[in-house]
Structure 1
């Protein structure tokens, strides 16, 4: 893909939270144009597109027709989405770290005042506009997507329990460490292999 075209598309996605459409066509070609709308790639009628203006908080206009393959578009969209999700996950972890030292409070959901393990994770995600279940068990069984240990990324949730019961949850921050609300020490950073805690039962990705 031409570098200027790639940059134009990247800028369009990056600068607009909700891009309406991106048109692309090969001039003097009988092939259908490509329409990207809401993350979907599809064919449209063969008409030369006019410049499209984005109506979100930043406006950006693509002024010329551009040529490329559907596979290039799909690959680029996946790359942009993955990069965006990783950026969000890093922001979530950075936000969570602000509350290190918050006291543990059973049933607590007040960041900076008092939280329990699942209250901490649910409220950190809520602050980023992401709703997950309130309890550790609920987060494990009904929130996010299951991932393996080898695929762990920052922002993923690590769950602990035994005999089918999930009793604790922490947020993965990289390097085999989690940030979590410890019942004895409040919000702290620890190795993910917690001493005196039931074994790890699984991992979930909330930002996917």
Structure 2
């Protein structure tokens, strides 16, 4: 494992490059708890995970630290909803009204009030799920009223193969949809396209490889 100095330098460089209002979500999925601990020592508090079992073990291994800000960024299976709600205060991957109803019911049972971002698919991409813009508009009144969920924003992932201007246009389209719905949070941009996302007003860029390096094979 690379020494803490390299990670600290990359964190500092990323923070200096991000505009005001754009937060860094360190994607720690596939990385060991020890590396997350190094990032915390360098001042990082917000982390993204996509596998419940891995994340729960990591959170337990880091329980001696001050509470961290954990975000669930993977595809959320309905049968994992309760576990995800118990371990994450923010969910970036709400991709259907039926899932929203389930999350709201379970959150009520658990006494939780999670922040959720709706995943939108603004370009054809068979590898991704999510609402189209029209689907989200059509169900928005019901979804926004699903207490105790707090619908705070949108998340989108640019399909592979887009050029930088196309990614920028996509992210701006997502930002416009969020503004239309009165939402303030935007989870857009990853290691390869965070610059375009930040330019379009993303409030969270999800960066893993560019920060931690390749994922650990054993994870």
Higher relative contact order by CA 8 Å / sep ≥ 6: 1 or 2? 2
Would the TM-score normalized by the shorter structure come out above 0.5? Answer: no
- TM-score, normalised with respect to structure 2: 0.24
Higher strand share: 1
Larger Rg, first or second structure (1 or 2): 1
Structure with more helix by fraction: 2
> Under a length normalisation based on structure 1, what TM-score does the superposition of the two structures give?
0.25
